[in-house]
Amino acid sequence: MSGRESVRAFFAVELSSAARAQAAAAIELLRSELPDPVRWVPEENLHLTLKFLGELDPDRIPKLVHLAAAKLVREHPFEAEIGGLGAFPSARAARVVWLGVTHGAGPLARLARKLDASAGRLGLERERRPYRAHLTIGRLPTPERIPFERVEAPGGARFPVDEVVLFESRPSSAGSRYRPLARLPLGRADALELAPLD
Ligand code: 2AM
């Protein structure tokens, strides 16, 4: 293995290139309208998080991937669509700005539950809050009111969701960098490939 003590990781769905371009266009529109301190997510980092795992012992990753993959083999590919705009915890005191999911939110929540259960089987922390599918596009260092009445989020094209990706998150001088560690297909028992940790 890598000799590293821990790996920060999460399960997510990747966007198609069309959906990524749509989200990047929304960011460009919002950039001029929303308060300065928003740190916008770089286009290559955009993803739909399903389950945040936190810091993991790297030796546990193969087991986690196999547990999760065994569940996902029994799921089916579906389509998702991004649209609408929102903020957590609220538009009056936003810390996270997101685009919503206008199609496929139910199946995404189902995947999130399966992955949470797989992580729980390994003794990792279970999610206490209900899952809400969203695409984080910006973060604020301190809570701010977001003037959503001034902006409109563009709608988008549907894209296929046929796999879940286990990502590693590593800090860099330019912010977090995400690297796929494993791709877990939905409804197919393909051979799983695990990327080596460096
Ligand atoms: P979110 O921004 O999409 O809501 C990688 O850091 C991903 O894991 C982020 O996109 C974030 O999801 C999620 N994440 C990061 N830190 C987290 C935390 N402490 N709790 C829950 N999810 C977290």
Give, for all 198 residues of the chain, the pLDDT tens digit.
Answer: 567 899 999 999 999 999 999 999 999 988 888 777 899 999 999 999 999 999 999 999 999 999 999 999 999 999 999 999 999 999 999 999 999 999 999 999 999 999 999 999 999 999 999 999 999 999 999 999 988 887 877 778 899 999 999 999 999 888 899 999 999 999 988 767 788 887
Ligand 1: centre distance to CA 11 (Å): 10
Task: Report if residue 64 sits inside a domain.
Answer: yes
CA 52 to ligand 1 center in whole angstroms: 6
Taking the model in full, what pTM does it have?
Answer: 0.94
46 falls within a domain: yes
Question: Residue 62 Cα, ligand 1 centroid: separation in angstroms?
Answer: 22
Q: Which residues form ligand 1's pocket by a CB distance below 6 Å?
A: 10, 49, 52, 136, 169
**187 C-alpha to center of ligand 1: Å?**
26
Ligand 1 atom nearest to 176, measured from its CA: 6
Instruction: Report the pLDDT value the prediction gives residue 71, as an integer from 0 to 100.
Output: 96
Query: Which of 47, 66, 76, 103 does the annotation list as catalytic?
Result: 47
Q: Which domain holds residue 21?
A: 7-194
Does residue 44 lie within any of the structural domains? yes
Task: State which of 39, 52, 166 you would mutate to test the pocket of ligand 1, scoring each by most atoms of that ligand within 8 A of its C-beta.
Answer: 52
Mutate to test the pocket of ligand 1, among 40, 49, 82, 166 (most ligand atoms within 8 A of CB): 49
Position 88 in a domain:
yes
Residue 67 lies in a domain: yes
Domain assignment of residue 127, yes or no: yes
Annotation marks residue 66 as catalytic: no
Is there a domain that residue 1 lies in? Answer: no
The answer to the question of residue 39 being in a domain is yes
Told to judge if 76 belongs to the known catalytic residues of this protein, a careful annotator would answer no
Task: Look at the chain and report how many structural domains it folds into.
Answer: 1
Q: Which of 150, 137, 3, 11 is nearest to 67 (CA)?
A: 11
Q: State the SS3 of the chain.
A: CCCCCCEEEEEEECCCHHHHHHHHHHHHHHHCCCCCCCEECCHHHCCEEEEEEEEECHHHHHHHHHHHHHHHCCCCCEEEEEEEEEEECCCCCEEEEEEEEEECHHHHHHHHHHHHHHHHHCCCCCCCCCCCCCEEEEEEEEEECCCHHHCCCCCCCCEEECEEEEEEEEEECCEEEEEEEEEEECCCCCCCCECCCC
pLDDT at 122: 94
The CATH number that applies at residue 55 is 3.90.1140.10
